[in-house]
Structure formats: structure tokens, C-alpha cells
Amino acid sequence: MIIETLSVFPEMFTTPMNTSILGIARRKGILEFHAHDLREWTHDRHRTTDDQPYGGGQGLLMKCDPVFEALDELESPKHNPIPAKTIFFTPSGEPFSQALATELAQESRLIFVCGRYEGFDERVYTRADRCISLGDYVLTGGELAAMVVSDAICRLLPGVLGDEASPYEESFSEGLLEFPQYTRPAVCRGLEVPAILLSGDHGKVDAWRRMEAIRKTALLRPDLLETADLTPEEKTFANGVCNGTAD
């Protein structure tokens, strides 16, 4: 996969994209990453990428011309013959989710356009294949959002993680939060690991994990249960947890 970012602070990506899972993906040749400086497509001596909004108001807006020129070049076959999906980050975009991360992980090339200040001139969104929001809050720039989305996507790419099954046993992979997990010692400061996990009975362990994932989701994120794939018995158990009647 190829990920490219367009930003006025490309240096922000240096450490995150060379560390941990993202760094591993690059060293393995699974991920190719390029951070582009939007100022390279400006034409004044101050390399200006922002201006006052028409109609007045607080703050500055990102100008559309540098973005258009940058995307004209980055999306062209001359720059890279592999077609790219261009992603903008904006509070009005579709909410980012594990399902969307899985979808984007199927792409061969992504361009993340990172805004600053009060956002973009609205006309730049004519170049967006998708607009994404990380949630109902505001960041100072899209760089952090691009890092989050890159991390979520790249850990799904084949060969990045040591255990190929692990991305599919985590929170949200089946519409539920992940079941509780434990490691040694079996007793820590009087707190014991559930006995079922020490039984060696993998069938019972799997069943326990399934029900604990449902319990945890019902307690912490009951909204997820509306779309989770549950059996009738599991739905009854989840409702009992929500109502405080389940064991």
C-alpha cells in the first residue's frame, strides 16, 4: 500500500511513520509512505496557504489553489501510475470506524489531505473521494487524524502483524468490544485470573470470551448491540446485562 499526505507540517509524520507497527510495515516493504509539503505548490515569497474568509469571521481558511495544484500533480499518472483515493479530514465527514479501516485497507494508494486553521475553502472538497471525521471534537490539524487512520489501516495489511488472526479478534471486529484478557501471574495483589482461562478447555474458553465480550459491550457501549450479530440467546443475555438482571 502507498499512503501519501499533503500538509503544511509534513515533519509531524517523521517519528510516527517510522515507529512501531507503521515503521515495521515500511521496513517490510508493505507500506510506502510520502509526506508532501503543501507549501511546495504556492507561488508567493511567503509560501502562503491560508487567507481571510469571505464574509468575515474568525480565523483563517486554507486556500483552494495550492490544494488543487498539489492534487493535480499527485493524482496524475506521471507522479504515480497507481490510481489514488483522495481523503479529506473534516468534522462533517463520515465517522471513522473499524469497518471503514477495513475497507480502506483494500486500496492500493491513498492520499490524505490535512487541513489547518478554520479548515478548507469549501471548493477543495470537489476533489475528495471521501471525507472522514474521527469524532465529535475538533483538532488543530488533520495530521493527527491521518496518523490515526494510517495506523488503523496498516495493522490490517497482510504480513504487518505477527499473528494474522489478531486484527480480527479485537474490539469492533465483530461489532463488539474485545473480551477481557489476562497474562501471568495468575494472582496479582489478590486479583485472580478467571479460572476458566486456566482450564485448558479451549471450547469453554471461546464460549466464555464470547459472552464476556457481549457483557463488556452491554455495559460500556450498548449502542453497538443494535448492529452486532447476536443469537437470540445472546440478545437475551445482553438485555439482562443492560437491565442488571444477568449473572
Instruction: Tell me the pLDDT tens digit for each residue of 41-54.
Output: 999 999 999 999 99
Query: Does residue 207 lie in a domain region?
Result: yes
Task: Find the domain containing 178 and state its range.
Answer: 170-243
Q: Mean pLDDT across the stretch 212-241? A: 95
**Residues 175 and 136 grouped into a single domain:** no
**Residues 56 and 147 grouped into a single domain:** yes
At 6, which CATH number? 3.40.1280.10
What's the pLDDT band for 118 if we cut at 50, 70, 90?
Answer: confident
Query: Does residue 150 lie in a domain region?
Result: yes
**Residues 19 and 87 grouped into a single domain:** yes
List the one residue out of 79, 92, 106, 96 whose CA is nearest residue 146: 96
**Residues 91 and 189 grouped into a single domain:** no
Pairing of strands 109-113, 130-133: unpaired
Query: Does residue 164 lie in a domain region?
Result: no
**Residues 223 and 106 grouped into a single domain:** no
**Residues 19 and 129 grouped into a single domain:** yes
Contacts for 159 with CB less than 8 Å, ≥ 6 apart? 28, 30
Contacts for 169 with CB less than 8 Å, ≥ 6 apart? 178
Query: Does residue 145 lie in a domain region?
Result: yes
Query: Does residue 161 lie in a domain region?
Result: no
**Cα–Cα dist 134/90, whole Å:** 8
Q: Mean pLDDT across the stretch 88-105? A: 95
**Residues 100 and 187 grouped into a single domain:** no
pLDDT tens, residue by residue, 134-190:
999 989 999 999 999 999 999 999 999 976 545 555 667 678 999 999 999 999 999
pLDDT tens, residue by residue, 185-220:
999 999 999 999 999 999 999 999 999 999 999 999
Query: Does residue 107 lie in a domain region?
Result: yes
**Residues 237 and 195 grouped into a single domain:** yes
DSSP 141: B
**Of 111, 128, 154, the domain-final residue:** 154
What's the pLDDT band for 246 if we cut at 50, 70, 90?
Answer: confident
Residue 49: all three cell numbers together: 496557504
Query: Does residue 159 lie in a domain region?
Result: no
**Residues 33 and 89 grouped into a single domain:** yes
**Residues 45 and 116 grouped into a single domain:** yes
**Of 126, 154, 182, the domain-final residue:** 154
**Residues 121 and 182 grouped into a single domain:** no
**Residues 79 and 149 grouped into a single domain:** yes
At 175, which CATH number? 1.10.1270.20
Query: Does residue 160 lie in a domain region?
Result: no
Beta strand residue intervals within 96-158, DSSP E: 109-113, 130-133
Q: Mean pLDDT across the stretch 54-63? A: 92
**Of 99, 130, 154, the domain-final residue:** 154
Residue 226 sits at φ, ψ, to 5 deg, of -65, -30
Q: b/e for 93-115, b at 16 or more Cβ within 10 A? A: beebebebbbebbebebbbbbbb
Burial of 21 (0-12, 13-18, 19+ CB in 10 A): middle
Q: How many domains does the chain have?
A: 2
DSSP 97: -
Q: Kindly report whether the global pTM for this prediction surpasses the value 0.85.
A: yes
Q: Is 120:67 a contact under the CB 8 Å cutoff?
A: yes
